[in-house]
Amino acid sequence: MQIVHIADTTKLNTTVARYIFDRIKSNLHQNRPFTLGLATGSTPLGIYRELVPLLGASGLDLSGFYTFNLDEYIGLTQHHPNSYHAEMMTNFWLPLQKLNPTFKLEHTHIPDTSTQNPDEECKTYEHAIQKNGGIDLQILGIGTNGHIAFNEPGSRGDSRTRVVSINEETRKVNADKFFAGDISKVPTHAISMGIGTILEAREIVLIALGESKREIMTRLLNLVEPTENIPASFLLQHKNTKIYTDMSNM
Ligand code: GLP
């Protein structure tokens, strides 16, 4: 894992957005598709605010550009403002399509939790990632307990896309950030890509912003081998992971 420290968060967002844009552009210029793994939560929003206009104004033909999201809540409809589907529509997919109509909404993927058969949907999602040729670059945030996507502590390093339960701690944090502090409104379950699924991405960029992530990042960076107690530690097994942080003395 390579760690990149950029103290100014705005500069960090611009740097990461530019980096991802260049990776997408390079593939598309060579007539190769590009699949971006998208994350939700507050962390990537600043990057999306930069990346969407870059892609939008690029003049690139985005018909070879695909996206797969990490996870989705069970129990919220796609139209619920707190669903990850709605979050992506608002912050990425629709603004990009408006700026560059070659971007196809049919090329976006997120687990469909409205299904009667979530286990089947997990298999379908895994299959769709494979059929699409895998993920070129996966963006990740990190939870204060070390979760990535909704892989909570105790998740196995070889886990695949599956139905997971969301920890009390994670629900509390997400309640404060997105559900006006009301934990009863935060779903207890989700469909999440597994850690094994995430590790198959050819490149991973994890972003850790702000002091609330210092403790978990310090624990993570002091590990020599992965532990199920800190799901993000399985990234130690990945050959092409960069961590961008705005925290000094990491
Ligand atoms: C959420 C998401 C994760 C996200 C994490 C951190 O629960 N499922 O994908 O990375 O928590 O969120 P934030 O970026 O708001 O700190």
Which residue from 51, 57, 53 is spatially nearest to 24, judged by alpha carbons? Answer: 51
pLDDT digits (tens, 9 = 90+) for 26-76: 999 999 999 999 999 999 999 999 999 999 999 999 999 999 999 999 999
Q: Are 148 and 142 in contact (CB under 8 A)?
A: yes
pTM of the predicted model, to two decimals? 0.97
Kind of pairing between the strands at 137-140 and 34-38: parallel
Q: Where does 103-155 show beta strands of DSSP type E?
A: 108-109, 137-140
Which one of 38, 42, 43 would you pick to mutate in the ligand 1 pocket, going by the greatest count of ligand atoms within 8 A of its CB? 43
Interstrand relation of 71-73 and 34-38 (parallel, antiparallel or unpaired): unpaired
- Confidence tier at 249 by pLDDT (50, 70, 90): confident
Q: Encode pLDDT of 159-170 as tens digits.
A: 999 999 999 999
Band (250; pLDDT cuts 50, 70, 90): confident
**Which pLDDT value is given to residue 33?**
98
C-alpha 15: how far from chain center: 17
Q: What percent of the chain has pLDDT over 70?
A: 100
Q: Ligand 1, from 9, 38, 40: best to mutate by most atoms within 8 Å of Cβ? A: 40
Report the C-alpha gap between 42 and 59 in whole angstroms. Answer: 28
Report whether pLDDT(221) > 90.
Answer: yes
